[in-house]
Structure 1
């Protein structure tokens, strides 16, 4: 394995992966990843949760070393992952300075080189030229202004003395994202950058990524962003030969090619299963014939039947060899999401909110009533109170004014944005416990198609963010709710699962309320009523 992460002018920025492999313990995470991207390329990493998308970003950032293969990156990198690198007592200004450390360092080196040049120090010309090239590559003089523009566009806090502990998770991530968009890095490595952004923020992010002159590599569940931005897609999901795929032509071309490839995969797998079954039938038939003729009864034809026995033995052996050699080489495609049957109560008022407000969080009084089969999309900018409203409707938060009434028999299920699951329990244990608590029978966790067997048996603390999100969804569905409340349901979920979930939500008998900024989900639910906050 070799790795090279080197500085370079922005115009020379590129990333290259060749046959990269990485395992955690005995579990392969990345297997045979190839990628080449240069200036102007915007690469989307897609795949189901737990397939190694974030891990691949960390390899590109130099935080993880590959077990085998070559990794090369030229140009400074700005990394936006799901972790904020500072603590609650640090300030917004400290976070800005940390994310602009490369800019600050470049300007400091240029200033020192300028002094050395004016003092006539030996070799100062070369040092000054290198320092100037570095500062120019980052456009360092304009970095703070660019950050201020992005802070405003992303509706992020710009008070540099404000402690991070006083900000919401979303506000902290927006500050960090604004810094990365303004820092002038040659390579941007972004993990779910659309989380916590409203419509204006999404538009700004899209514009900045499309205009970025270097290389962009992003992991995102936001299908609209991928359609608008990606020039190349690398798919880490299993394939018929268990190798990652790289698709050119943008996200739309990837979706079409992937759909066609999956259809071929399913067809080939079915053909191999059918052929193996046919061989098994032929083998059974040959064995029956051999049994009938191996010990022929006394009397007429005994000699004829006896002479046929060796041929039948050879036929049985040949069929056995064919069957042994005809192992199903093409693995089955990944499971699809299977929405459990949720209950409906036609004609009954399941939930009603009258004049609901929450001081400092939900200013506009909300009036709504839900019956089985009702659909509603809650919209509004960050801070308008969408998450607050869903918490109030679920009974998890008391309103300051107004009332919320539930039908006595109605079960309410809410999927929040943040997961708060006990870390030591396994996914299966939590799901089975939820089924027992709800007092309803239902499909097992494996039948939902949300978590692979490996993840179902692991402690929750060891699951990826996406896998925990899938588990949260499974636990909510295990309650068999009459009313489903979904707060940004596409966060951390793969595009494939989002498509399957969206289709299922459109047909379930339960009432469904979605709060989202996801532009594609908004388009897919365009026929649903809207509540604008």
Structure 2
């Protein structure tokens, strides 16, 4: 009989203890502890480069950690972010690979049934074992489960289709459907919401919530984490360098992370203040030693010697105090600070009247904005959301309708694409941008906000060439350039693209309080929830497009 890889179901478990991984002389993961049991759903978060994908490979057993142990019980599947571009397999081949044990179990059951009918020795036990294996795998229903998952994710179900003829998104959805249909004990998913539309996202969310085994999800999708994760592992920097585990799901993570950062910042500031005080005390003592100890003329030598010794001892004590006091708290991570954006009360800043753009913005659309206004632009892909923002920004002329802008209006559009990656350093690009704004009379010298004051890029990253920055860092730079003009109207097109969870939360909070007018288009489900009280402008596809 072929040995089957049977699920452990309620006995399944995946644990890691003290995991450390080093790469290129740098520690990527440090002191990671996890225990994934049936029904537990972990979310793993952190900035790019924090080792999230590396951790999944350690858990899956495809990467051996430099330190620590990993223990696995049960069947396990890993869905990486990337899939090979060249693939000669068919859709059916992928399905067969993931249902191999179910297929083998049914074959063994058929063979055992034949042996039982022929009354061969040991046939009864073989049949009982084969039946139990097939029942454990629910092998008879395996193909139907995969078909349901393929339909739920909007994936190609034709088993004869070559993977090489399909898009990256289609290939990813097929593999994800197979993982869900095969019902592994443990699912390790790396950014599983990539390439999914709203219906696919809702289906995936429901399936992960209903999954009886354990789930580990690496994701920047806050809505998925909010709806699915019961425990969050945060790999971003902490006070002691060890990752943090937060219970209470995504809400517990946000509250716990905020409390952690507040304590960290308070301790750092307290230690900095004490260090400054001790340095000043040493400086004062040294000054007294060099000038203040000299007594008046006529004072005897004994008094002069006694006073000098006391001052020397004071200096030594101050030096010892300063040497003993070390700033042990590392520098806390930066927080985003939205600059004060100006308001112009009583002025209609921007008004669009029945604008359309041939082939792109199909229905006449109008709006009016004053300082403090909020507007969420919604609609399916192709409805014209980005087109409308380009018209409002003056980058695209409408085919019909009119656009009115107030005099000296400051307006900026943060588009979906970041600036062209150049070899110019990020802070130089920012300085040249603000200098042009000043020379053009858009800003006064006193209104310029330094790049560091925004909390978007560290000084180290700001000193890099733009081409060397990650996608997330380039997106941060694009946001900094948008805010540099101190706009009265800020247009945001998918602003959460490539940004970290922490920054998106900080940005969302800032958008609720600024005095500027904000127009925002997004598919981000959590941001849509966060701005559900804003007025909405819903764009729709033309009838002929809907029919297609």
Cα distance, 1:230–1:332 mapped onto 2, change above 3 Å = same
Deviations 1:111-135 (A, max 9, x none): 6645765787999999999987776
In structure 2, distance between residues paired with 1:383 and 1:487 = 14
Alignment partner, residue 261 of structure 1: 260
Alignment partner, residue 290 of structure 1: 289
Contact persistence 2:98–2:178 (CA under 8 A): no
Q: Mind listing any 5+ residue stretches in structure 1 that lack a counterpart?
A: 1-5
Alignment partner, residue 279 of structure 2: 280
Cα distance, 1:178–1:111 mapped onto 2, change above 3 Å = closer
Alignment of 1:22-421 (within 5 A): 22-86=21-85, 94=90, 97-98=93-94, 100=95, 102-110=97-105, 113=108, 139=138, 141-155=140-154, 176-195=175-194, 197=196, 200-292=199-291, 299-342=298-341, 347-350=347-350, 352=352, 354-356=354-356, 359=359, 364-381=363-380, 384-387=383-386, 389-390=388-389, 393-394=392-393, 402=400, 405=403, 407=405, 413-417=412-416, 421=420
- In structure 1, the residue corresponding to 2:480 is in which secondary structure? helix
Task: Provide the aligned length of Structure 1 versus Structure 2.
Answer: 522
Cα distance, 1:137–1:285 mapped onto 2, change above 3 Å = farther
Contact persistence 1:350–1:372 (CA under 8 A): no
- In structure 1, the residue corresponding to 2:513 is in which secondary structure? coil
Alignment of 1:375-524 (within 5 A): 375-381=374-380, 384-387=383-386, 389-390=388-389, 393-394=392-393, 402=400, 405=403, 407=405, 413-417=412-416, 421-422=420-421, 427-428=426-427, 430-432=429-431, 434-435=433-434, 442-458=448-464, 463-478=469-484, 481-524=487-530
Cα distance, 1:321–1:42 mapped onto 2, change above 3 Å = same
Cα distance, 1:509–1:16 mapped onto 2, change above 3 Å = same
Contact persistence 2:351–2:404 (CA under 8 A): yes
In structure 2, distance between residues paired with 1:397 and 1:497 = 30
Contact persistence 1:198–1:381 (CA under 8 A): no
Cα distance, 1:209–1:466 mapped onto 2, change above 3 Å = farther
- In structure 1, the residue corresponding to 2:328 is in which secondary structure? coil
What's the CA shift for 1:218? 1.6
- In structure 2, the residue corresponding to 1:366 is in which secondary structure? strand
Deviations 1:311-332 (A, max 9, x none): 4323321221110121111123
Alignment of 1:7-18 (within 5 A): 9-18=8-17
In structure 1, distance between residues paired with 2:6 and 2:480 = 45
Contact persistence 1:356–1:367 (CA under 8 A): no
Contact persistence 2:413–2:492 (CA under 8 A): yes
In structure 1, distance between residues paired with 2:475 and 2:322 = 42
Tell me how large the CA RMSD over aligned residues is.
Answer: 4.2
- In structure 2, the residue corresponding to 1:300 is in which secondary structure? coil
Deviations 1:418-454 (A, max 9, x none): 6574376654455445445655674343332123344
Contact persistence 2:77–2:184 (CA under 8 A): yes
Contact persistence 1:372–1:511 (CA under 8 A): yes
- In structure 1, the residue corresponding to 2:148 is in which secondary structure? helix
Moved more, 100-109 or 431-440: 431-440
What's the CA shift for 1:96? 7.3
- In structure 2, the residue corresponding to 1:322 is in which secondary structure? helix
What's the CA shift for 1:303? 0.9
Contact persistence 1:195–1:491 (CA under 8 A): no
What's the CA shift for 1:241? 1.5
Cα distance, 1:462–1:130 mapped onto 2, change above 3 Å = farther
Contact persistence 1:53–1:236 (CA under 8 A): yes
What's the CA shift for 1:33? 1.6
- In structure 1, the residue corresponding to 2:99 is in which secondary structure? helix
- In structure 1, the residue corresponding to 2:376 is in which secondary structure? strand
Contact persistence 2:356–2:401 (CA under 8 A): yes
